[in-house]
């Protein structure tokens, strides 16, 4: 079964990427079929040198079968933007959680952690690097299967760029759509790629900071 291209990123656009050797481009592909143990697409990473790429296919190979339409991304161009986010409240110590509560406005005082997680921590949507979007599980570090070093987030493949609780993260040009009452069928502005992971979840890919060539790992949140 052909692998499907999911993302292609250049170091010139995303300096956070740390490719091996002379590589300056990351290609992420996945198999559009459910794989064990969590019934998710199996991902593959290719670090390449853009100058060494020869013939480019005008149309990528199309799968003859997929588990769901959400495993076939809608082609689109990225507009990378550097942002600042903070770790999920589950990763904060007791003292830091109290500080969060002290700094939240009076109108949000009843739910300080919810306000913090939705507006300051874990920017939603597709992103390179960043903090893990905990919620389905408690924080649990991933370790490299080769050298046992703690792995770091590489890429988050998200179903939605925002939802009702995180629409404050929507880009300025999409702000009107984010706060609109509704949208046309099959034209959700928060889902431009039309990718669907799990039940509206995100897949975060992790790599070894010691060697990008070590096997990567993923987690659904």
DSSP track, 63-112: PS--S-GGGSPPP----------B--GGGS-HHHHHHHHHHS-GGGTTSH
Beta-carbon count within 10 A of 80 CB: 14
What single DSSP character describes residue 116?
A: H
Determine the pLDDT at residue 150: 95
Residue 138 burial (C-beta neighbours within 10 Å; 0-12, 13-18, 19+): exposed
Q: 153, 129 in Cβ contact below 8 A? A: yes
Radius of gyration over every alpha carbon of the chain, rounded to an integer in angstroms: 19
Q: The tokens of 48 are what?
A: 């390449």
Using CA atoms, how far residue 212 sits from 21, 192, 204, 208, in Å, is 10, 29, 15, 6
Determine the pLDDT at residue 11: 94
Q: 155, 204 in Cβ contact below 8 A? A: yes
Determine the pLDDT at residue 112: 80
Q: What is the pLDDT along the chain (221 residues), one digit of tens a residue?
A: 678 999 999 999 998 888 888 899 999 999 998 888 778 899 999 999 988 887 777 777 777 788 889 999 998 888 888 899 999 988 988 888 888 777 766 555 567 888 888 888 889 999 999 998 887 788 888 999 999 999 999 999 999 998 888 888 888 888 888 877 666 545 788 899 999 998 889 999 999 999 988 999 999 88
């Amino acid at each position: 079964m052909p692998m499907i291209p999911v993302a292609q990123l250049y170091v010139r656009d995303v300096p956070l990427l740390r490719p091996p050797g002379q590589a300056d481009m990351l290609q992420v592909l996945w198999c559009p079929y459910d794989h064990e143990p969590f019934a998710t697409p199996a991902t593959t990473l290719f670090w390449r040198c853009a100058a060494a790429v020869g013939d480019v296919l005008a149309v990528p190979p199309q799968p003859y079968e997929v588990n769901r339409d959400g495993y076939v991304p809608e082609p689109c161009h990225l507009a990378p933007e550097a942002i600042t986010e903070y770790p999920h409240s589950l990763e904060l110590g007791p003292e830091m959680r109290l500080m969060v509560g002290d700094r939240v406005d009076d109108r949000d005082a009843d739910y300080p952690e919810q306000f913090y997680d939705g507006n300051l921590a874990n920017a939603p949507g597709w992103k390179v690097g960043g903090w893990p979007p905990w919620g389905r599980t408690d924080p649990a570090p991933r370790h490299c299967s080769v050298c046992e070093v703690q792995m770091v987030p590489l890429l988050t493949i998200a179903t939605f760029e925002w939802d009702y609780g995180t629409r404050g993260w929507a880009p300025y040009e999409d702000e009107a759509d984010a706060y609109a009452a509704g949208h046309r069928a099959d034209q959700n502005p928060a889902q431009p790629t039309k990718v669907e992971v799990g039940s509206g979840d995100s897949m975060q890919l992790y790599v070894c900071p010691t060697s990008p060539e070590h096997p990567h790992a993923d987690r659904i949140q």
